[in-house]
Amino acid sequence: MPFSNQLATNFYTWGKYLQLLVLPYPLTVDYYPRHIAVKSFSDISVIVSVIIHLFLLGWSLYYIRKKRIMAFGILYYFITFSIVSNLFFPIGTNMAERFMFMPSLGFCLIVASMLYDLGLKWSVNKDGKGFKAIYFGLGALVVVFSVITINRNFDWKDNYTLFSKDIDVSTNSGKIHTDLAGELINQANRIREEKELATTGFTAEQKKVAMKEKDIERATLFNQAIPLLNKAVEIHPMNNKAWLFMANAHHLLGEMESNTPNVNLTLLNTALAAYEQADKYKGVGMDTIVAEFKSLCLMGIGKIMGEKFGDINTGINFLEKASSLDPKNAEAFLLLGTAYSMNQDFEKSITNTQKSLELRPDDRDTKKNMATAYQQFALADTKQKAGLLIAEKLLLDVLNEEKKLADNDVKKRDGLLRTLDLLIKNYTLQGKTDKVKEFKSELQKFDSDSIEG
């Protein structure tokens, strides 16, 4: 922004501060660009503000020598206002109502001095009637401003209430559109978190069904957030936070089980494009969070391509990008291991599953996948039989862990069934018939129908 426009905009905000001191309405939490439009010195509001401030400064400097209280109040206002005026150094926003906390004391001194002088002037006969009129007027103002204040207090109930009210005032602010959208996304995320907490102990299938019940409610919130974010980036195309929230909203919509695969793929690709913009305009300290979200999005696309469309190679391509972007994404490595296994590339399957296991060494499902990869490799290549011993150890560790689970844990039975089945296959490949018989017998206790042949 040219310096002349910057200075003119500053002078405009100075006039706006004076207006809010006299008539504090409408109020807003957000005076960021472009709620305060860029001004020039040809703007009448800027010219009026400059004239008023020059007059006040000149008048106060002249009368301070005569020890006028009003002059002191004006100078106090200017001195305390100077540090938030954007004149000497930028403060990060055009203006904010909270910056008037100290200068407003000067304003109060000015008003009190004026009213006192006016009361004396009206009380010609020293009967005090002038002051009575002032008291009456002040009382009426107190009532009016009290109503305004109390009414405004309700807007501060929480961030969502505040932003949803003030967006009607700060209609051209990119920030408040972003912040309100962020609150809507947070609400949708809280719904998911509460449901996940309520479904603790459910099987994976039971949890999936339960989560789908909340999809419509969450989707409504995301779809309310997206137009706000479109407006935010229209106002300020380099708004990295808005781009990140835009990506988040589409990303989370694209993970909903109630959507078709095609819809989810479109949503995730839209999210990926928004993550690219967030990455392009990212601020200090945003590198990690953008990389992590982008990695999860790439992983989601890879998973859909493999699971829903059967395009394993394209899925692997996206999963490789996801794991490269965020080397701590354990799920991406696990899915890569599964995808490479389906492509009969067991070495890469083992390598990637091992990376996933290193990132979450206590995860039972990852251990089972690791064991499965070794067993499939041994089945495809008899030279890889040594891997069966590694798989055996992993499965026995998991078996011991699952046996310690509470009997009412819904995950216990399904987990034991899979582990015992994998152990039977392992011992079959090793040729240990006694172990096969032992674990088939144990499996029989849980589910006699699981034994084939």
304 contact partners, CB below 8 Å, separation of at least 6: 261, 264, 265, 268, 315
Predicted TM-score (pTM) of this structure: 0.88
Among 276, 135, 238, 249, which residue's Cα sits nearest to residue 181? 249
Q: Dump pLDDT digits (tens) for 362-390.
A: 999 999 999 999 999 999 998 899 999 99
In this prediction, residue 449 carries a pLDDT of 46
Give the DSSP H or E segment for 122.
helix 103-122
3-state secondary structure of 260: coil
Sites in the chain below the pLDDT cut of 50: 449-453
Q: Please give the pLDDT value at position 51.
A: 98
Q: What is the average pLDDT score of the chain?
A: 93
How do residues 279-294 score in pLDDT, each as one tens digit?
999 988 899 999 999 9
* Contact residues for 70 (Cβ-Cβ < 8 A; gap 6+): 60, 63, 109, 110, 113, 114
**Domain residue extents for the chain:** 3-157, 173-283, 298-361, 370-453
Joined together, the tokens standing for residue 193 give 């978190």
Terminal C-alpha separation, the chain:
79
pLDDT of residue 263: 98
324: Cβ contacts below 8 Å, ≥ 6 apart: none
pLDDT value for 140:
95
pLDDT at 450: 43
Distance CA 248, CA 246 (A): 5
Matching fold, domains 173-283 and 298-361: yes
pLDDT score, position 447? 64
Q: Tell me, what's the pLDDT at 126?
A: 61
Contact assessment for residue 278 and residue 240, using Cβ atoms and an 8 Å cutoff: yes
pLDDT of res. 199: 87
Task: Indicate the fold that domain 298-361 takes in CATH.
Answer: 1.25.40
Architecture, CATH, for domain 173-283: Alpha Horseshoe (1.25)
